[in-house]
Amino acid sequence: MKFAPTLALLLSLSILGAAEQRHESLVAAAKAEEAAKPGVVAPGPTKFETVPPGEALEIAEIGRLMVELLDQRYPDGMARRGVHPKTHGCIRASFTINPDIPENYRVGLFATPGKTYEAWVRFSNATPLLAPDVDEQGHGASRGMAIKVMGIEGPTLLGEPDSRAQDFLLINLPGFAFPNVAEYLAVTKIQVEHHDDIRAFFAPPLSPDRLKTLAIVQQLNETKVGNPLDVRYFSASPFLYGPDRVAKFAARPRNPENTPVPEFPSFDYLRQAMRKTLDQPFGDPTIFDFQVQLRANDQLPIEDATAVWSEGVAPFQTVATISIPKQAFYNAYQETECEHMSFTPWHGLTAHQPLGGINRLRLGAYVASSQHRSQLKEMHGFPKWPQ
């Protein structure tokens, strides 16, 4: 009898130990499963692409590291998007194929002149965590414009029965900062190892690829944005334009207000600028022209996402109009919906399949990020929100 409490204690401890172990192995299994996603079935590479050996393994490794990075960034509280976490606003808009779209551009989403779709547009910043719109040096991050055109018709890339959206994910420079999957893996490893400090990525000697990245990062730092509605945005990477052609996309504001960056920019000055333009009782809508840049010859690169196709060689053609009516977009309901939305270049028609290594990488990465951020989580402390 004397031993009974000890025995009970030992028993409960061993049960606890087993439960903990079981919990840990369940967590490990869930993480491994999550990292192993895509789990999405999509069409394979097209005749326009050249897949380097070993790329699939590098993509799987990035998927695993990205989930690790999200756990590092958000030990408590809600995980946000793996890239572009900061929202300036999710806006209601319409997307109309121009009635006078030239005949040879009437493909896929753009097949029917004059057709109007409802659309969401999310404007964002690409700092790893929620951060001021410009840092202490006045440097900005990459700015994003993600468009979700709803109610599309025709075969879709992921074949999901309830997915009837064509997403376009655009940034404010015509070239993406990393050329290919190998370089993206190298930077992701450094992000995980150094908690998002990527200075080691630029340690000399710099390879030609790193020099290209450095030039784009410097350009981003120096690009001044006063209002997300004033800026031109680009897909940077290429997409199919029907079975036999390739194109990049862009959105250009028709009448930008050319808002200056405030002398003392606040944490959320870009959202404030958007509210000043849109949150009004009356007035004209804000218009973006949606444009297509057809690949004019085989020399224009597909596998290097930093490469900018010369507009002299391959001009942009306006094909559609994005119209953003006045609206009070900043409210708790819309902000919550916005956090739960998921944009990916792989939501869309097979006629606009994403091309090139950077786009092949994005197939699994966006799914992993959006699934990870929607997971329920137990709190261990207070989230570190920016003050």
Shortest reach from residue 83's CB to ligand HEM, in Å = 4
Contact status: 223 vs ligand HEM (CB under 6 A):
no
Q: Could you say which of 176, 239, 241, 316 contacts ligand HEM (CB under 6 A)? A: 176
Shortest reach from residue 20's CB to ligand HEM, in Å = 31
Shortest reach from residue 16's CB to ligand HEM, in Å = 36
Q: Could you say which of 83, 130, 158, 294 contacts ligand HEM (CB under 6 A)? A: 83
Nearest Cα to 169, choosing from 110, 239, 244? Answer: 239
Shortest reach from residue 364's CB to ligand HEM, in Å = 8
Contact status: 210 vs ligand HEM (CB under 6 A):
no
* Positions 313 through 352 that interact with ligand HEM (CB under 6 A): 342-343
Helices (H), 199-351: 208-222, 269-278, 332-340
3-state DSSP of 287-311: EEEEEEEECCCCCCCCCCCCCCCCC
Between 124 and 353, CB nearer to ligand HEM: 124
Between 286 and 369, CB nearer to ligand HEM: 369
Asked, as a colleague might, if the bond just before 53 is cis with ω within 30 of 0, I would say no
Contact status: 82 vs ligand HEM (CB under 6 A):
yes
Contact status: 84 vs ligand HEM (CB under 6 A):
yes
Contact status: 365 vs ligand HEM (CB under 6 A):
yes
Helix (H) or strand (E) segment spanning residue 166: strand 165-171
Read off the tokens for 65: 């590291």
- Distance in angstroms between the alpha carbons of the first and the last residue of the chain: 58
- Given a contact cutoff of 8 angstroms between Cβ atoms, the answer to whether 324 and 285 are in contact is yes
* Among 19-27, 246-254, 268-276, 356-364, the segment contacting ligand HEM (CB under 6 A): 356-364
Query: How far apart are alpha carbons 180 and 362 in whole angstroms?
Result: 11
Q: Which amino acid is at 272?
A: Q
Beta bridge partners of 167: 148
Q: How big is the site for ligand HEM, counted in residues (CB under 6 A)?
A: 27
Contact status: 296 vs ligand HEM (CB under 6 A):
no
Helix (H/G/I), strand (E/B), else coil: 56: helix
Between 101 and 288, CB nearer to ligand HEM: 288
Read off the tokens for 340: 């739960």
Shortest reach from residue 321's CB to ligand HEM, in Å = 20
Torsion, Cα 80 82 85 90, to 10 degrees, reads -90
Q: Could you say which of 225, 240, 305, 322 contacts ligand HEM (CB under 6 A)? A: 305
Burial of 184 (0-12, 13-18, 19+ CB in 10 A): buried
Read off the tokens for 343: 């944009």
* Among 21-29, 202-210, 234-242, 265-273, the segment contacting ligand HEM (CB under 6 A): 234-242
Shortest reach from residue 123's CB to ligand HEM, in Å = 8
Residues forming the site for ligand HEM (CB under 6 A)? 62, 81-84, 122, 124, 144, 146, 169, 171, 176, 184, 235-237, 305, 342-343, 358, 361-362, 365-366, 369-370, 373
